[in-house]
Amino acid sequence: MLYATKSISIPSDFRKILSVIRANMEDKTIIESDYWPDHLIINDCETPFDMVTGKGKPLEEVYTYYFECPKCGQLYQLFCSTVQGCKGKWRPLIESDFR
């Protein structure tokens, strides 16, 4: 599931994706990445993923997180806004994202 783009349209989609991410972080299939696109830098002290998605944590308004495969360096982005419903996406970043 990690390798494909996955849309989030309802809260249960988001919860499902969070649990897949957490499981894959536990077995080190992916790690949280230091990557951050230059044009999106708004603050550089984002709360670590672990701290905002633990059990019983209230929903944040916006989630933007980057992960990477420690073996090949493939980057992934999790984006989700919970302001109006629950809209977002999990996706692998591709070459054109870096231009």
Residues that bind Zn ion in the complex, under the rule CB under 5 A: 69, 71-72, 74
Tokens for 20, please give them: 């897949």
What's the min distance (Å) between Cβ of 73 and Zn ion? 7
Comparing CB distances to Zn ion, the nearer of 71 and 99 is: 71
What's the min distance (Å) between Cβ of 76 and Zn ion? 10
What's the min distance (Å) between Cβ of 69 and Zn ion? 3
Comparing CB distances to Zn ion, the nearer of 87 and 92 is: 92
Kindly tell me the number of DSSP H helices and DSSP E strands found in the chain: 2, 5
Comparing CB distances to Zn ion, the nearer of 58 and 73 is: 73
In DSSP notation, 36-78 reads: --GGG-S-S-PPPHHHHSSTTPPPPSEEEEEEE-TTT--EEEE
List the beta bridge partners of residue 66.
77
